[in-house]
Structures are given as structure tokens and as C-alpha cells.
Amino acid sequence: MKFLKKYRTFISVLVEWGIHILGYGMILLAISVLFPHTIHIDNEHFGMWGFLSSFIIFILNKTIKPIIFWLTIPITALTLGLFYPFINVFILHIVHFILGSHFTIHGIFMSFFVALLISIMNQLMDHLVIEPLLEREKTYE
């Protein structure tokens, strides 16, 4: 029984990762198609760079974003929360730095728009998909 409980937890974590990475990828690809001169994702190797950029954004959101958030609490409080999407802008520019010419962002306004979409997508996915899945998993225990 203990093994089955650990297995379900592992599966739920993988599903959460997959949902977030898929959401990031959809936002990035949609914006790169709608605004090709502002965000460019290399199309080589059947979308590998889009998936890789989504994966890096997910990893940075889980590791670096909480640290940056705690460091910028005073600025976020002074701006009444308006500074929070700029943390995602910073993460997008880190991804641009890591992937180089395979993922490029031109302009602060478009990166702010993408960061805002990512923030909205995170909230929607957490409340509409992930929390109900976790609640459903608790009913099976």
C-alpha cells in the first residue's frame, strides 16, 4: 500500500510538470507565431527548442523564482504587486541568455506581455487543473 501511495504521488508530480511545460510551450509558440519579429523560437529539430525553453522556464520558476520573490518583497509591496510579473520577465531573459540565438526576445513590452500571460496561465492551471487533481488523489487514499 505504501508503494502505491508513493507511485500516485510521483505520477501527480509528473502530470503537474507536464501541464505546466505544455502551457508554457503553447504560450511561447502562439506568441512567436503571432508576433514573429518580437519573439523567435528556432524551429529546428521538430520543436525541440520550444520544448527546451518551456522546460527551462519551468525549472527556473521552481528554483530561482521563489528566491527572487523573497528578495523583491519590498519592491513588490511598494508597487502593490505590480512588480511581480517582472520576475517572469527576468526569467524569460535568463532563458534568452541560456539558449542564445535559438530563443530570442526583442523588446521589454513583449517580454512583459508574455510574462503576464505566463502568470495568468500559472494561476489558471493551479486552480482549475492541478488542485482538483490533487483533491481527487486525496479521495483515493
Q: With a cut of 80, say whether residue 11 has pLDDT above it.
A: no
Which domain does 24 fall in, by range? 2-140
Q: With a cut of 70, say whether residue 138 has pLDDT above it.
A: no
* pLDDT tens-digit map of 88-105: 999 999 999 999 888 999
61 closest CA partner among 82, 91, 95: 91
Q: With a cut of 60, say whether residue 53 has pLDDT above it.
A: yes
Confidence category of residue 68, pLDDT binned at 50, 70, 90: very high
Does 70 or 38 have the greater pLDDT score? 70
Joined together, the cell numbers standing for residue 115 give: 510574462
* pLDDT tens-digit map of 116-129: 998 898 888 888 87
So what's the pLDDT on residue 44?
78
The count of structural domains within the chain is 1
Between the alpha carbon of residue 99 and those of residues 4, 28, 49, 82, 115, the distances in Å are 39, 14, 8, 28, 18
Q: What is the mean pLDDT of residues 105-110?
A: 88
Q: Who contacts 66 (Cβ-Cβ below 8 Å, separation ≥6)? A: none
